A and B are shown apart, each in its own frame.
Chain A
Amino acid sequence: MSYRIQLFHSLLNNFLDGESALVTIEGDVLAVRGKNPATYGTLTTAAKNAGTYLKLQEGDIAILNDPFSGGSTLDEMTFIMAISEDLLWVRRKAIAKSIKAGKSVEEEGVRIPPTPLLQNGKFNAIILNAIQSHPACPPHFGDWIQAEFSSMSAMSRKLIETIEGIGFEITGELIEEYLHLSKELAHQLISEKASGETRVDVILDSGELLRLKIDIHEGKIALDFGGTTPSTIINLTESAAFGTCFHTISQFYGFTEYANSGSFASLQVTKPSGCWLMAKYPASTLKGMTVGIAALQLAIELALSHIHSKREKAPSCHSPLLVQFQTEFASTVIELKSGDGASAHQNGTCAQNEKLSIENLEREFPVKVIQALHRSHGDKKSKFTGGRGLVFQIQALKDIDVTWLSDLTKHKPRMIKKYSDFIPCEISLDSRGEMKILQSQGTQRINKGEILNLSSGSGGGLD
């Protein structure tokens, strides 16, 4: 029995946390882990770029946040560390969340291409100082980077000591076998379910069309985005688009835990050049990385539901509602997640709050939270109801600046009759009794006494 495969898989599961990946220098992806769909394409692109252009030696660490080099949004930093001469560890962490959508990526923050900062045990202070001198660089950036480097170096040493400590040899043959088994697994899980093809169109409020033709045949899935239009304001990088496709598909079939080069081979993605899924520098990518990804997830899930009538799922509202409060002294971003669509046998999962504390928010900002609850059911007729979104009512106790980004898929795609529509995110302002629905994105000063009503999306229901 090859228990070495089980041990290897367990090692990967234990070592990788958050948004992270392990990639060989030759480009084999051993494992990817994360909650953000884009991770499954962007981290591997980051590793490939760093590996190709920077020639990292054991112990060296490079950083990047450039979306066009394998980053995501500019408020998240990607670290690439050479654990050994042939293994790269890629990890992504948020610095300080912010919502800065501009006309180009340069307006969204400080953009860092693949940059080696730790080489031969020496920290490159000159480059770090140059980054810190950028006006958009977050405060305490240098300290934060050094703390992350220290943590990664320690963990990397532990990984090597662990492998030596248990006498486990990770050979080329072991890796090959693991990837082969993962590829077979993906193939088998896809083959066990229905085959077929279908087409879905999703239109974004900003005018972009996402056209997806999906073909499931003999254990492989082809996603053809031919007919998808160029960008108006939404741009998504190729690596993020691939990652989203893989994550959504693998979640449906149940092989996300085996995300690697082997299972990646089950997917073939084709996009027309110039479409909004192939963003090029200097396009702005913040909206693509949030709303664009949500639209892509929606399209794929609808397509899969069309083909798999026994495993259908009503559309989820994947788009979160992001709201940034800003005063002279402090800034915070609240992310309100949305609810899931109902599935064939159960209600959709309601959205949950993850990090917000009402007492802390009221202490740090001049606001008062009036209420926090689950959104009411929009569709009471369905047999299985969609997961409810979150509702927050927040009153300004002093003037405060607010920036927000919400759903841009209010146009409902064509649905099968037994689905009810998901309810998109909504933000409105109550100003002295006068209610005004705000646009999907914007920045505004909220005056003292005005009340902001924040509602994240609810999933669709199923009869």
Chain B
Amino acid sequence: MQNNFLLGISVGEAFAEYCLLEGRTVIATKRSYLSREGLKSSLNQFILNHSDKKIGKAAVSIRVPEKLLDYKLNGAVAHVTTKGFEQWLDLNVNPLTNFTTDKLQFSICERVHSNGEIAIAIENSELEAISNKLKELGAKKVCVHLLHASINSSNQEKVQLFLQAQGFEVFLPEKSENGDEVSRWKRNSLKATVTSLFEDIKKDIQDALHDSISAENIYYLNAAGDFSQDKDHNPIAGLSASYSALALTSTKPDFDILYLGLENFILISPKKWQTHWQSPWGSIENRHLGFRSLSIQPTLEIALNAFRHFDFSETSEGWEPGPMFLGRGQKATLLDLWSDSAKLRKIDGLRERSTESGIQRFKKSLYTLAKTSKSHEKEIDHVNKELQSLAIQKIAMEALLFRNGKKILITGPLADMFGNGFKKDPHSTVEINEFALSNSVALLGQTLLNPS
């Protein structure tokens, strides 16, 4: 008899969600605040709490934080590029977001023409010299970027085999129809940069599940809505996987989806597939369902704008240390405006983490800002209410302006708190689903991994 229990896992930057399904019915859910409870221990505990259920498979979505795609935080990867183009990726990004250091950029004398003809073949002596230099610098990972390798990969294969034989981990741009080498090479560079971090997260998951689910029954979701096993999975392809899952499992397929999560406010267009991700590094090849990250986000800092009126800044403070009401945050954020709300405090992951001292510090910071603002309103409770209205109105405004179709489904852990901004729109529906991401990853897993 087919095992009908499936575990859905959605790992974000600050929170992880778990959802256990029996068939398509939710049996159990949990959210972990990762800076307070590690991924491995919290997942392991969740499994132990349901050890009476034999879970057949796990469907996993991992969203590596964008800021950790920076090589300065993850370690630089060497690049071997066709001679004359070793700076080509640097020429295509802001200097603050380069893909690697100058020292780890190598050129190789080779050339393939646009018709596939090899104009210059690879010399072993040059490969040996590069390999020796890489070893001297302690490099372990190498991206190989050769022009027109997608048409004739002979030179690329030679480089790959040589470097692999020398013990290096080699990353090649994936085969695709995309004729733009810049977006392919960028994707490859980011993948190489973040591989170690991704491996660490996967290991935590595998270790947490090893008594219940073997590694070959853990499947990783990508943004195109496909599952693959460990070795085939590209972490860049998984960046918006959970949003794709939300859209692909929606009970209202004609609706755009506004996901109001603790980490992000995202508008997803289920009918709009896109081939490129507009990232901080420019356009990167990555097939995904169209989504828009709203300009208003849950941890935007509250600040005075250019007119010296209360507003929200453009920088998300994130959850480390998080909003002030949790006790450690140093900056007042949007979510702090609801620190008195029972609805916010009962959200899984935040329960019993709110501190009175944090709430008071937040109110004091609002008061300090009010003294220097040009707003007429100085009474803090009124300021708080007005900012709440502004936040809700901004969310509603952006969602209505950028929806692809006519109708919007509002979901996520904060849907209940913010949904009333849409009450005047007859085409909007609020669906309370606190564990929307892990639920949808699990549902998609049941559909694709356990088809009945």
Contact = CB atoms under 8 A, between A and B. Distances in A.
Contacts of B87: 372-374
B91 A255 contact: no
Contacts of B375: 1-2
Contacts of A7: 390, 393-394, 397
Interface in A255-294: 255, 257-258
Nearest to B428: A165
A168 B393 CA distance: 9
Contact of B386 (A1, A167, A168, A352): A1
Contacts of A368: 113
B400 A166 contact: yes
Interface stretch (B38-46, B306-314, B439-447): B306-314
Contacts of A372: 84-85, 87-88, 91
A127 B342 CA distance: 63
A3 B389 contact: yes
Nearest to A15: B401
Contact of A3 (B85, B93, B390, B397): B390
A359 B397 contact: no
Interface string A140-167: 0000000000000000001101101111
Interface stretch (B56-64, B134-142, B327-335, B417-425): B417-425
- A5, A6, A7, A357 interface centre (most CB from chain B within 10 Å): A6
A428 to B, nearest CB: 17
A11 B397 contact: yes
A208 to B, nearest CB: 33
Contact of B425 (A165, A257, A349): A165
A166 B91 contact: no
Contacts of A333: none
A9 B428 CA distance: 24
Contacts of A162: 397, 400-401
B400 A363 contact: no
A357 B182 CA distance: 7
Given A359-B114, A362-B114, A374-B91, A3 B182 contact: no
A9 B306 CA distance: 11
A257 B307 CA distance: 12
Interface residues of B, number: 52
- A359, A363, A393 interface centre (most CB from chain B within 10 Å): A359
Contacts of A359: 114, 147-148, 150, 179-181
A371 interface: yes
B305 interface: yes
Interface in A181-239: 181, 185
Contacts of A158: 400-403
Contacts of A257: 306
Contacts of B400: 158, 161-162, 165-166
Contacts of A104: none
A99 interface: no
A360 B295 CA distance: 34
Contact of A258 (B179, B306, B309, B394): B306
B398 A14 contact: yes
Interface residues of A, number: 47
B401 A371 contact: no
Given A166-B396, A357-B180, A13 B88 contact: no
Interface in B291-348: 295-296, 305-307, 309-311
Contact of B401 (A14, A363, A390): A14
Contact of B310 (A1, A351, A360): A1
Given A1-B375, A357-B180, A6 B401 contact: no
Interface in A76-133: none
A296 interface: no
B376 interface: yes
A358 interface: yes
Nearest to B310: A1
A181 B114 CA distance: 56
Given A166-B424, A168-B393, A352-B92, A1 B401 contact: no
Interface in A358-393: 358-360, 362-363, 368-374, 390, 393
Contacts of A6: 305, 309-311, 390
A439 interface: no
A327 interface: no
Interface in B361-411: 375-377, 382-383, 386-387, 389-390, 393-394, 396-398, 400-403
Contact of A374 (B90, B310, B403): B90
Contact of A352 (B83, B93, B393): B93
Contacts of A362: 113-114, 147-148
A257 B403 CA distance: 25
Given A372-B85, A374-B87, A255 B377 contact: no
A375 to B, nearest CB: 11
B422 A360 contact: no
Contacts of A353: 91-92, 182
B422 A370 contact: no
A255 B306 contact: yes
B140 to A, nearest CB: 27
A10 interface: yes
B95 interface: yes
A61 interface: no
Nearest to A349: B95
Given A185-B306, A372-B84, A360 B390 contact: no
A159 B307 contact: no
A357 B183 CA distance: 9
B94 interface: yes
A362 B377 CA distance: 62
A350 interface: yes
Nearest to A258: B306
Contacts of B83: 371
B69 to A, nearest CB: 18
- A14, A15, A369 interface centre (most CB from chain B within 10 Å): A14
Contacts of A161: 400, 425
Contacts of A357: 179-182
A1 B307 CA distance: 12
Interface in B81-139: 83-88, 90-95, 113-114
B179 A360 contact: yes
Contact of B85 (A14, A167, A352, A371): A371
B307 A181 contact: yes
A360 to B, nearest CB: 5
Contacts of A371: 83-85
A337 to B, nearest CB: 10
A86 to B, nearest CB: 20
Contacts of A168: 393, 397
A165 B85 contact: no
A1 B309 contact: yes
A352 B113 contact: no
Interface in B164-211: 179-182
A373 B390 contact: no
A112 to B, nearest CB: 30
Given A357-B179, A357-B180, A10 B397 contact: yes
- A14, A159, A166, A363 interface centre (most CB from chain B within 10 Å): A166
Nearest to B403: A158
6 contacts: A1-B383, A158-B402, A168-B397, A359-B150, A363-B179, A371-B83
Given A15-B401, A166-B393, 18 more contacts: A3-B386, A5-B309, A6-B305, A14-B295, A158-B401, A162-B400, A162-B401, A166-B400, A258-B306, A352-B91, A358-B85, A358-B147, A360-B179, A362-B147, A362-B148, A363-B114, A372-B91, A393-B84
Across the A-B interface, the 7 shortest Cβ-Cβ residue pairs: A371-B84, A362-B114, A165-B425, A1-B377, A162-B400, A357-B180, A3-B390
